[in-house]
Amino acid sequence: MRAPSSSSWPVPVSIAPDKIGAIQAEFSREWLRIAASAQQGSLEPPADRRFSKPAWASSPASLFSAHAYLLSAKAMNQMVEAAEVPEAVRSRLRFSLMQWLEAASPSNFLASNPDAQQMLLQTQGQSLGNGVRNLLGDLRKGRLTQSDESRFELGRDLGVTPGEVVFQNSLMQVIQYAPQTAKVHKRPLLMVPPCINKFYILDLQPENSFVRHAVQEGFTVFLVSWRNPLDSDADGIDTATWGDYLRHGVLQAIDVARAVSGQDQINTLGFCVGGTLLASALALARAQGDDPAASLTLLTTLLDFDETGVLDVFVDEAHAQAREHQLGNRGLMTARELGTTFSFLRPGELVWHYVVSNYLKGEAPPAFDLLYWNADGTNLPGPFFAWYFRNTYLENNLKTPGRIQVDGHGLDLGTLGMPAYIYGSRDDHIVPWHAAYATTRLLRGPMRFVLGASGHIAGVINPPPKKRRSYWNHQDDYPPSGMPGDPASWLDAATEHPGSWWNDWTKWLASHSGAQVRARPELGNAKYRPLEPAPGSYVKVRAF
């Protein structure tokens, strides 16, 4: 269900008298209990990490304010749940209230944060001076610093798996990675990362690189590195469309991988929006009479946009029209706006935590490769974004055969009959795992669905040596007609395994990759010669 257009607001909000009475009564009881415990000196610190430091427990006034804040937040959330409004409106109320409550926490202000006050005294004011310097530095950058960015350099510390750029055009570069085994599977793998982020999330440091893992398992890996368009570009990149990304991006990269490897069919993998692009491009290829993919892997990917999680609060006709007016013909959807939006989906963790540590306490953020990548965003061509927003999030057109046309060809995901490995993350707030599972109702080949623990990124980037988290699967792949229609039924019958899903995937992929042959140390071929070493130049262009 989509949220109503902003033109329908304000929506009258009412709460049944018995429900509001119950909320008030519970609030009063808890308030009296907290006040009595505070008066007796027996008030315990709340189970909330924002108030977990010893300074809170040693300050009765601060401890009481923390409890009062949490109690008030609970009551306000209960009122939202009790409100007699459409569910779409309730989702927006939840989101708006979350933003306000996270911002209003007493931990966010020096005057009401005893931990920050204690540090101020212990450092004789140095922590506050450091915090002001951190704030001024972030104001100059125009964004909040979440990681020690001086510790990383792309091509030196991140994105270091050896390879060569073997093709480039105005939209992307294609990287071929050098073999690290004496023999490789005959059929190569092409990875299509999201174009709203940089590809090196799949190639962070050697110990957590998904690309390196695949190469070391004996796969010849090609990867798309999307261009990061800038306002200063004068070649028309800001007019690129969804169709351009399919034709000159994904399908061109497939042609390169086929030509270099000498294989008519290749294995393909898409991550997040990269998976949406990949499936769309393969459907376009099928409509044109081509069948280039022997297998399809989709990682945290939406093809059916009926359930889009917290992002649904931004989706309505008014927003779509505004973006089309602003960006429909040309222009850029900026990385700064995209990054801010995604950060405020989890404001406590990705915004206010750093306000407290960086500014109130003057601490330097630790070096964290994933957060360095998170801050290194990409701009998007305006026409691409406006089309994508309307046709996927708003109208959910991709799942309906023939509704989306590219070059006069109707896209039908039901024509994709290759074996598919579909992965979802259980705590994903961007692609809810039920929505990832919905892909199983659209494709027509044998399918293997795997559910990993954790969220959108941490669930995917989970190298086996770390022995972290877990995943759920069924022993055998399902035929398309055999997948349980209800994801809960699938999970009830699934087996949980400790550790990473990566080894399960490489075993599955090997079964679709042909015999092993002697690895060729030379990269590219006579037509597609190496242009520059990986990670290439496109990925090094920073949006801000």
Written as one string, the DSSP assignment of 104-171 is H-GGGSGGG-HHHHHHHHHTTTHHHHHHHHHHHHHHHHTS---S-GGG--BTTTBS-S-EEEEEE-SS
Dist. CA 158–CA 79, nearest whole Å: 47
For residue 213, which of 203, 224, 200 has the smallest C-alpha distance?
Answer: 203
Q: Which residues contact 220 (CB under 8 A, 6 or more apart)?
A: 176, 177, 179, 184, 185, 188, 189, 261, 519
Residue written as tokens 């209003």? 104
Residue 120 near residue 131 (C-beta atoms within 8 A): no
Dist. CA 91–CA 259, nearest whole Å: 49
Q: Which two tokens stand for residue 200?
A: 């090196």
DSSP state, residue 389: I
Collapsed DSSP state (helix, strand, coil) of residue 269: strand
For residue 372, which of 537, 156, 211 has the smallest C-alpha distance?
Answer: 156
DSSP state, residue 488: H
Dist. CA 90–CA 78, nearest whole Å: 11
Residue 272 annotated among the catalytic residues of the structure: yes
Q: Which two tokens stand for residue 269?
A: 């993998």
Residue 364 near residue 148 (C-beta atoms within 8 A): yes
Among 204, 272, 450, 457, the one annotated catalytic: 272
Q: Which two tokens stand for residue 514?
A: 């042909």
As beta bridge partners, residue 269 has 191, 297
Beta strands (DSSP E) in 172-258 are 172-177, 183-185, 189-192, 221-226
Residue 73 near residue 51 (C-beta atoms within 8 A): no
| 496 phi, psi to nearest 5 deg | -90, 135
Residue written as tokens 């093709």? 167
Q: Which residues contact 20 (CB under 8 A, 6 or more apart)?
A: 79, 82
DSSP state, residue 219: -
Residues labelled catalytic:
272
